Chains A and B, each alone.
Chain A
Amino acid sequence: MDKILVSPNPHIHSATTTKVLMRDVVIALLPAVIVSVVFYGWKELLVLAVSVLSCLAIEYLITRYCMKKASTIGDWSAAVTGVLLALNLPPTTPWWVVFLGALVAIGVAKMTFGGLGQNIFNPALVGRVFLLISFPTYMTHWEIPQGLFGVDAISGATPLGAIKEGLMQGASVPDLMASHGYTYSQMLFANIGGSAGEACAIAILVGFIYLVARKVIKPWITLSILGTVAAVSCIFWLANPAQFTDPLFNLLTGGLLLGSCFMATDYVTSPMSIKGGIIFGIGIGFITLMIRYFGSYPEGVSFAILIMNSTVPLLNNWFHQKKYGRA
């Protein structure tokens, strides 16, 4: 002992650091990553690789050369954005489109605000929505997975897209479901059209349970989104089953699970308090369904989350946690 250290309490620290938390999110995304690679093969692998590497490289360059400080890619948050962005894109997306998405996600949505913790909107979603608006053709037509090592993939619309189109042509929901051959077990276990990360609901739920069990996230936001979507779509569907899709269909399609488990729960862009989180979730669920039922985009989770992201400062202002001894 050379010199005695003197500093204020506490003298110990929990082992949970930002890096550990972010790495846990990446681990939780692995089941979805593996399933998507198994279903979509090397194309999906390329999208993932380009997305993650671009996010890391862009963040590294911006921190080192524009902000002139130590690189922050070691905290794994850029990797999380990279994986999430990839899982939000169709596996057929050209590499340069993926790169542009990463540039917007990290360069615009994250770093211009000052980096991790300072951004208002979820970076991966901003990247995705940017691509959705700029390159609608790449973004709305998806590859339908064809079994484990499927060769002849068929391009088509997502279930939500197909049904939306069908409805506009005057068909009814049950007929469309039957004619496209959509079944719930397909949606649950794999094999529906959609972005890579939507391929298998179970894989996403496994990751979600991991995050909750590791106490990385609280389940309230996710549950309130899913609950709201289920309840509201149930009302519409009971009122008019020919015009409106049923609750289970809405829960399992359109990236709702991926968005509610992994993107709405982003610490930085979601409310701090439980009450705020529940209201945030209800808002996302409701807006998602309104866009799906009445809007011009077939899905709507991305827009709903981004819209609710902007209410977070207000929700944080309104809802505080209960203080000891102050009724």
Chain B
Amino acid sequence: MAKRTFSIGGVHPADSKISRGCKLEYLPIPPTVYIALSQHIGAPAKPVVTVGDKVKVGQVLAEPGGFMSAYIHSSVSGTVKSIGPRKDLSGNNQMVVEIAVEGDEWMENIDRGDTLVTDIPDDPKAIIEKIKLGGVVGLGGATFPTHVKLSPPPGKVCEMLIINGCECEPYLTSDFRTLLEKGEQVVIGTAIIKKALGVAKATIAIEDNKLEAIEHIQKVVNEFKSKGPEYSGIEVLSLMKKYPEGGEKQLIDAVMHRQVKSGGLPIDVGAVVDNVCTALAVYEAVQKNKPLIDNSVTVTGECFPKQANLIVRVGTPLNYVIDYLGGVPEAAAKVISGGPMMGKSIANLEAATMKGTGGLLFLTREQTKRMPESNCIRCGKCAEACPMGLEPFLLNRLAKAGDTDALEANAVQDCIMCGCCLYSCPAGIPLLDIISQARGQVMGIMRARTAAAKAAAEAAKAAAEAAKPKSE
């Protein structure tokens, strides 16, 4: 059987999953946590606690600040010390709730036992409500509020739920460990999401560099078949390892052979994609009443003395995580939140983890060195690598010329910032640096145009209304 993968572009960086053997381990609770009010795409949450309040683990700290927003819970028990701005990992101010930790007292309704709960609630609405109350957001990187994703707009039908277990970024292994060690919970979580969406089919997609995980999940899926109708129709799919397979659009192409139109959403082609850790969080929120208060983080890098896959309470200072494992190594030049292809380099190690923090990667100067830039040799390697089928060399040229019309015509707005182009360019041209700037510019222009068109339409309507003879 030919190996399945996405059809356009992609690159094969070295796997470097040196932490794959490290079992998930609970990081001790830090003395103070800083829980950000904006840990998801959309409006920041509105705090419902005040300074001096005593809180328990799992207690609501903040409520959704709009339709596209999420609950934020306390990840520790203790006293709220302050609510105010604090620097995030890029050094920008963010509103956070600071809590001084006292003991580890959980809300009474949370089931902390290990027993698996396989019976799934009947009512999809109730499931989605519980997911919303649990503050669950997408843990694959985008932190899209999960309850919003599971409520497709009217008229859109989900045909396939895809659970993303690709973990295509080099180095990262927390999804892998979760699949191996919490596979049962992931499968139950998958069944719950399936039920919430009312969809018959679900695919758990895993890249073929994680054979143990594929075998384990397959076994669990087979065992659970007898546990109820929700557990049928779940399939495990092995995909050929290729970056960025875990990109939503690429994964939909690989699994369903469908492509999301430019500017469209996965649901337009009948797909909903959730990460394996999101499925785990859904399980915990729905079956155990445990909101999203901790998540798994891979801490790794060749220059880092100790590799680990840690379960970390949300809001733990990065320093604390790093010091627990022996501190920042001398040789490290860059610390990255996430993987080496799409991760963000950290400017401020005092920042705290968030729901979406998936990895801390240490790279040496040598490993992360950028080559001196030379002439484009027109080799086409960037275009070959681009998973969106764009022509980065051309976008680069157009961006330098400032030709925003041509940039838009050549689909710069479709760029998913995967970094494949810059990774592959033999001439060391900083393609993505330039493209991402141009992309921001073009998207701004497009937004302004839509807004202007809308305003014009409204004005025309108002004028028509005014011109109409009044009948009263």
Pairwise interchain contact A1-B333, C-beta atoms closer than 8 A: yes
Give the nearest-CB partner of A217 in chain B: B379
Pairwise interchain contact B414-A267, C-beta atoms closer than 8 A: no
Given contacts A1-B328, A16-B426, contact A21 B334 (CB under 8 A): no
Pairwise interchain contact B329-A9, C-beta atoms closer than 8 A: no
* A1-57, CB < 8 A from B: 1, 4-14, 16-18, 20-21
Pairwise interchain contact A323-B334, C-beta atoms closer than 8 A: no
List of B residues within 8 angstroms of A326 by Cβ: 261-262, 389, 411, 414
Interface-facing stretch out of B190-198, B231-239, B338-346: B338-346
Q: How far is the CA of A77 from the CA of B379 in the complex (A)?
A: 13
Pairwise interchain contact B432-A17, C-beta atoms closer than 8 A: no
Asked if B253 CB lies within 8 Å of chain A CBs, one says yes
Asked if B226 CB lies within 8 Å of chain A CBs, one says no
List of B residues within 8 angstroms of A75 by Cβ: 374
Pairwise interchain contact A115-B333, C-beta atoms closer than 8 A: no
Q: How far is the CA of A13 from the CA of B432 in the complex (A)?
A: 12
Given contacts A116-B377, A273-B380, contact A324 B259 (CB under 8 A): yes
Interface-facing stretch out of B146-154, B175-183, B416-424, B446-454: B416-424
Give the nearest-CB partner of B261 in chain A: A325
Interface-facing stretch out of B206-214, B275-283, B363-371: B363-371
Asked if A62 CB lies within 8 Å of chain B CBs, one says no
Q: How far is the CA of A115 from the CA of B374 in the complex (A)?
A: 10
Q: How far is the CA of A7 from the CA of B441 in the complex (A)?
A: 20
Given contacts A9-B343, A11-B336, A12-B368, contact A325 B260 (CB under 8 A): yes
* B370-400, CB < 8 A from A: 370-371, 374-381, 383, 387-391, 393
Asked if A118 CB lies within 8 Å of chain B CBs, one says yes
Asked if A223 CB lies within 8 Å of chain B CBs, one says no
Q: Mark B1-37, 1 if CB is under 8 A from A, else 0.
A: 0000000100101000000000000000000000000
Q: How far is the CA of A60 from the CA of B344 in the complex (A)?
A: 40
The contact of A12 among B341, B344, B349, B376, by CB within 8 Å, is: B341
Give the nearest-CB partner of A268 in chain B: B378
Asked if A68 CB lies within 8 Å of chain B CBs, one says no
Pairwise interchain contact B332-A1, C-beta atoms closer than 8 A: yes
Q: How far is the CA of A20 from the CA of B259 in the complex (A)?
A: 35
Chain B residues bordering chain A, tally (CB within 8 A): 67
Pairwise interchain contact A11-B264, C-beta atoms closer than 8 A: no
* A187-242, CB < 8 A from B: none
List of A residues within 8 angstroms of B330 by Cβ: 1
Asked if A94 CB lies within 8 Å of chain B CBs, one says no
Asked if B427 CB lies within 8 Å of chain A CBs, one says yes
Asked if B433 CB lies within 8 Å of chain A CBs, one says yes
The contact of A10 among B333, B342, B378, by CB within 8 Å, is: B342
Give the nearest-CB partner of B372 in chain A: A70
Q: How far is the CA of A313 from the CA of B277 in the complex (A)?
A: 48
Give the nearest-CB partner of B375 in chain A: A117
List of A residues within 8 angstroms of B387 by Cβ: 324
Given contacts A1-B329, A10-B342, contact A116 B390 (CB under 8 A): no
Q: How far is the CA of A322 from the CA of B345 in the complex (A)?
A: 32
Asked if B428 CB lies within 8 Å of chain A CBs, one says yes
Asked if A72 CB lies within 8 Å of chain B CBs, one says yes
Give the nearest-CB partner of B367 in chain A: A12
Pairwise interchain contact A10-B340, C-beta atoms closer than 8 A: yes
Pairwise interchain contact B379-A21, C-beta atoms closer than 8 A: yes
Name the residue in B331, B369, B378 with the highest tally of chain A Cβ atoms < 10 Å from its Cβ: B378
Asked if A272 CB lies within 8 Å of chain B CBs, one says yes
* B231-268, CB < 8 A from A: 249, 253, 259-262, 264
Pairwise interchain contact B376-A117, C-beta atoms closer than 8 A: yes
* A95-119, CB < 8 A from B: 114-118
Give the nearest-CB partner of A21 in chain B: B426
Asked if A64 CB lies within 8 Å of chain B CBs, one says no
Q: How far is the CA of A8 from the CA of B330 in the complex (A)?
A: 22
The contact of A323 among B328, B379, B389, by CB within 8 Å, is: B389
Q: How far is the CA of A238 from the CA of B116 in the complex (A)?
A: 77
Q: How far is the CA of A12 from the CA of B367 in the complex (A)?
A: 7
Q: How far is the CB of A59 from chain B (nearest CB, A)?
A: 13
Asked if B289 CB lies within 8 Å of chain A CBs, one says no
The contact of A1 among B331, B342, B367, by CB within 8 Å, is: B331
Name the residue in A13, A17, A267 with the highest tally of chain B Cβ atoms < 10 Å from its Cβ: A13
List of A residues within 8 angstroms of B43 by Cβ: none
* A140-196, CB < 8 A from B: none
Pairwise interchain contact B375-A115, C-beta atoms closer than 8 A: yes
List of A residues within 8 angstroms of B8 by Cβ: 321-324
List of B residues within 8 angstroms of A18 by Cβ: 374, 377, 426-427
Pairwise interchain contact A267-B259, C-beta atoms closer than 8 A: no
Give the nearest-CB partner of B430 in chain A: A8
Q: How far is the CA of A312 from the CA of B414 in the complex (A)?
A: 26
Pairwise interchain contact A10-B422, C-beta atoms closer than 8 A: yes
List of B residues within 8 angstroms of A323 by Cβ: 8, 262, 388-390, 411, 414
The contact of A6 among B345, B376, B388, B436, by CB within 8 Å, is: B345
* B165-201, CB < 8 A from A: 170
Give the nearest-CB partner of B263 in chain A: A325
Q: How far is the CB of B438 from chain A (nearest CB, A)?
A: 14
List of A residues within 8 angstroms of B170 by Cβ: 12
Pairwise interchain contact A325-B259, C-beta atoms closer than 8 A: yes
Pairwise interchain contact B432-A9, C-beta atoms closer than 8 A: yes
List of A residues within 8 angstroms of B424 by Cβ: 14, 16
Name the residue in A5, A12, A20, A272 with the highest tally of chain B Cβ atoms < 10 Å from its Cβ: A12
Pairwise interchain contact B390-A4, C-beta atoms closer than 8 A: no
Q: How far is the CA of A17 from the CA of B329 in the complex (A)?
A: 29
Q: How far is the CB of A122 from chain B (nearest CB, A)?
A: 12
Pairwise interchain contact A267-B390, C-beta atoms closer than 8 A: no
Q: Mark B430-443, 1 if CB is under 8 A from A, else 0.
A: 00110010000000
List of B residues within 8 angstroms of A4 by Cβ: 333-335, 345-347, 349
Given contacts A4-B346, A10-B422, A324-B249, contact A117 B383 (CB under 8 A): no
* B77-112, CB < 8 A from A: 90
List of A residues within 8 angstroms of B420 by Cβ: 10
List of B residues within 8 angstroms of A272 by Cβ: 378, 380, 383, 391, 393
Q: How far is the CA of A320 from the CA of B332 in the complex (A)?
A: 41
List of A residues within 8 angstroms of B371 by Cβ: 13, 17
Pairwise interchain contact B428-A17, C-beta atoms closer than 8 A: yes
Given contacts A9-B419, A12-B367, contact A320 B391 (CB under 8 A): yes
Q: How far is the CB of B337 from chain A (nearest CB, A)?
A: 11
Nearest 10 pairs between A and B by C-beta? A10-B419, A117-B375, A323-B389, A272-B380, A325-B259, A5-B334, A267-B379, A11-B340, A12-B340, A324-B388
A323-B390, A325-B388 are known contacts; what are 14 more A-B pairs with Cβ within 8 Å? A6-B346, A8-B432, A9-B419, A11-B341, A12-B13, A12-B367, A13-B371, A13-B423, A17-B371, A18-B426, A116-B374, A116-B377, A323-B262, A325-B260
- B residues near A (Cβ < 8 Å) are 8, 11, 13, 90, 170, 249, 253, 259-262, 264, 328-336, 340-347, 349, 361, 363, 365, 367-371, 374-381, 383, 387-391, 393, 411, 414, 417, 419-420, 422-424, 426-428, 432-433, 436
| 11 pairs, CB–CB < 8 Å, chain A vs chain B | A4-B335, A4-B349, A5-B365, A7-B368, A9-B343, A11-B343, A17-B426, A21-B379, A117-B427, A323-B414, A326-B389
